[in-house]
Amino acid sequence: MSKITIQDILRRKQKEHRNIAVLTAYDFPFAKLVDEAGIDIVLVGDSLGMVCLGYDSTLPVTMEDMLHHVKPVSRAVKHALVVADMPFGSYQTVGSALHNAKRFIKEGGAQAVKLEGGERILDQVKSLVRAGFPVMGHLGMLPQSIRKIGGYKVQGKTKDEANQIFGEALELERAGAFAIVLECVPNSLAKRITKKLNIPTIGIGAGPDTDGQVLVLHDLLGFRSQVRPRFVRCYADLDSVIRKAVTRYRQDVLRRKFPSLEESFKG
Ligand code: KIV
């Protein structure tokens, strides 16, 4: 199977009318499984901070943290498009956005970058696109802005907020973004944006009418280390699978039932 391109992603919406399946991954073995299952886009999200690094928000995640995880994901993925999430503080100016996006593409092996925000980051998006970096936008509930918005809350509920997000989606498309993540917005707003844009919308907590869906892999797999938002559907219960396996191993070691002679070397 050949590598999915930006043009393939645009074609899914514009010609094939086929939904786009996106998942996060943060390391080699999980990224390989996700890719082999046929996912279209693998996002190395800055949710890394909460899922793998034990932070209580995405704010402390650094470029070095992200690169450390983008590299093995890029090595594992043979088919999907790999998108690297630009962490908080890494795209405050056009210069820093260009510098850090270049690192993700050249050192990390990603095919595109994702930035959170609308109006505030249009210059960065335009400059990145002009310089040849494919950009995925991200609107609605922006985890990097939780200090400003006061927590993980649905955005775009009032008419003014909805119009602001709608306008920013149009601006991001005009600036050259190839897709936009819509996080935690009402279904009706996501539907309105999706109808209006030529580029695909990828929803998370945005209802069924977007052009694609994204979830955090560990939420979908049923790891229970974090609060589970209402929009998550668990497709497995790896939390209890792993707990049971580790408990059985511990018991076998304590009772001298592991290893057996078959699992040992003869002298
Ligand atoms: O960081 C992340 O995983 C994300 C997705 C949830 C969209 O931004």
pLDDT of 225 reads 73
Ligand 1: centre distance to CA 253 (Å): 39
Which residues line the pocket of ligand 1, CB cutoff 6 A? Answer: 24, 43, 45-47, 85, 181, 183, 204, 214, 216
Average pLDDT over residues 10-24: 98
Average pLDDT over residues 124-130: 98
| Structural domain boundaries, residue 30 | 6-237
Asked if residue 1 has pLDDT above 80, the reply is no
Q: Is residue 249 part of a domain?
A: no
Q: Is residue 265 part of a domain?
A: no
Average pLDDT over residues 48-61: 96
Q: Is residue 252 part of a domain?
A: no
Asked if residue 226 has pLDDT above 80, the reply is no
| Count of structural domains within the chain | 1
Ligand 1: centre distance to CA 42 (Å): 11
Give pLDDT tens digits for 63-97.
999 999 999 999 999 999 999 999 999 999 999 99
Q: 131 falls in which pLDDT band (50, 70, 90)?
A: very high
Helix (H), strand (E), coil (C) string for the chain? CCCCCHHHHHHHHHHHCCCEEEEECCCHHHHHHHHHCCCCEEEECCCHHHHCCCCCCCCCCCHHHHHHHHHHHHHHCCCCEEEEECCCCCCCCHHHHHHHHHHHHHCCCCCEEECCECHHHHHHHHHHHHCCCCEEEEEECCHHHHHHHCCCCCCCCCHHHHHHHHHHHHHHHHHCCCEEEEECCCHHHHHHHHHHCCCCEEEECCCCCCCEEEECHHHHCCCCCCCCCCCCCCCCCHHHHHHHHHHHHHHHHHCCCCCCCCCCCCC
Q: Is residue 1 part of a domain?
A: no
Asked if residue 262 has pLDDT above 80, the reply is yes
Asked if residue 197 has pLDDT above 90, the reply is yes
pLDDT of 224 reads 84
Point out the residues that are catalytic.
183
CATH of the domain at 53: 3.20.20.60
Q: 144 falls in which pLDDT band (50, 70, 90)?
A: very high
Q: 23 falls in which pLDDT band (50, 70, 90)?
A: very high
Best residue among 59, 85, 145, 152 to mutate for probing ligand 1, ranked by most atoms within 8 Å of CB: 85
Q: Is residue 253 part of a domain?
A: no
Give pLDDT tens digits for 244-260.
999 999 999 999 999 99
Give pLDDT tens digits for 156-177.
999 999 999 999 999 999 999 9
Ligand 1: centre distance to CA 252 (Å): 39
Question: In the predicted model, what is the mean pLDDT of the chain?
Answer: 97
Q: Which atom of ligand 1 is closest in space to residue 183's alpha carbon?
A: 7
Average pLDDT over residues 177-184: 98
Q: Is residue 259 part of a domain?
A: no
Closest CA to ligand 1's atom 4: 45
Average pLDDT over residues 45-49: 98
Q: 227 falls in which pLDDT band (50, 70, 90)?
A: confident
pLDDT of 267 reads 84
Q: Is residue 198 part of a domain?
A: yes
Q: Is residue 266 part of a domain?
A: no
Average pLDDT over residues 185-207: 98
Q: Which atom of ligand 1 is closest in space to residue 47's alpha carbon?
A: 1
Average pLDDT over residues 176-194: 98
Average pLDDT over residues 51-69: 97
